[in-house]
Amino acid sequence: MEEGVARRLEALVERLAAAGWLTQGRVRTALRDVPRHAFVPPVAWTGEGDRVDRATAPERWLDLVYRDDAIITQLDDGRTDVATGNGRFTSSCSAPSTVVSLLELLDVEAGHRVLDVGTGTGWTAGLLSRMAGADNVTSVEIDPLVSARAAESLKGAGLSPRLVVGDGGDGWADGAPFDRVHATCGVSHVPYAWVRQTRPGGVIVTPYAPGFASSHELRLVVMPDGTAVGRFTGHASYMMMRSHRQPPWPTSGDEGAKSATQIDPRTIGYAPAGADLAMGGFLPGVNARGHHQDDTYALRLWSTQAWATATYRPGQRDYEVRGDRNLWDEAVRAYFWWVAQGSPPRDRFGLTVAPGAETVWLDSPTNPIQS
């Protein structure tokens, strides 16, 4: 199997480089020195439903491991046996391209003190250990069983970062100050503990998913005044930190007042990432998700205090809206604000994080989006 691992690993490295994901030599070295298969469970699944058992199909298992796909490692927070493949995905070994993209944004040097939020399988903690030195890496995982399995895999790979069981949103104050904070789970907002525990000039990289459809890569630099400022650099879809998951859809969501709109709900629901950032900036705490059923499309908007649904049906001249707050009109105003700005793409937006608040801005922190 070792020859097969080396061949597949090298092919993966070359694919990532050719696609433009992999440009830094230290990340390339880490990928070669910390092979992914050492962190993948014997029964592997992709999000598309491919299942391979190492015991019965070792070559196919290796093929899957060295594809550029996320591999599901936990269902329903561990309540469902992952071997069944039936349940909500709650932990994974992230796709190599997304791992590499975040690591290159992090810009880790030897000797940097790194906080890794979301240990998962331990693969990323292993890569960071190779890049910064295992003694400098602290990885926090909320699930004790997941952390224990990661510890075994890391030990097998000859790596020994500090592993902590706890809520990654709290960071790890005992290890502060950090030079780098790296998250392998999505957050709906940036925990200020991460900023507080990072030295000025330090970098925070995280998947950012405030709830308005798109998920984003975010790179922040911590400032001497205790804020953090940075830009959205690309797409990053990760499973959410448990405490940052979306609130449930209100159970009374079909009983609100009915009105009409001329705006096709798909205009808002299918809007690109830049529009999503604008709408999320104007409507903090509001979630947006579209649902298809046959020819009908319904866009749901909701927070812990309010909800609205805008529905498209074929042949309608106006579209139906129901809700207990005018979230729909607020989203429409935000969308057309974005259009009036010239439909700016994602990379023109950024974020400032301060104690108790965060602000989305366009082009410059001096041009904030005010909700």
Q: Could you list the active site residues?
A: 94
Backbone φ, ψ for residue 321 (5° rounding): -125, 135
Question: How many other C-beta atoms lie within 10 A of the C-beta of residue 86?
Answer: 10
* Residue 348 DSSP label: G
217 strand-pairing partners: 207, 234
Asked if 107 and 89 count as a contact pair (C-beta separation under 8 A), the reply is no
**Residue matched to tokens 């319904």:** 298
Tokens of 93: 């070994």
Asked if 198 and 316 count as a contact pair (C-beta separation under 8 A), the reply is no
d(CA 151, CA 165): 11
- Cα–Cα distance list, 128 to 37, 151, 177, 197, 202 (Å): 16, 15, 17, 18, 16
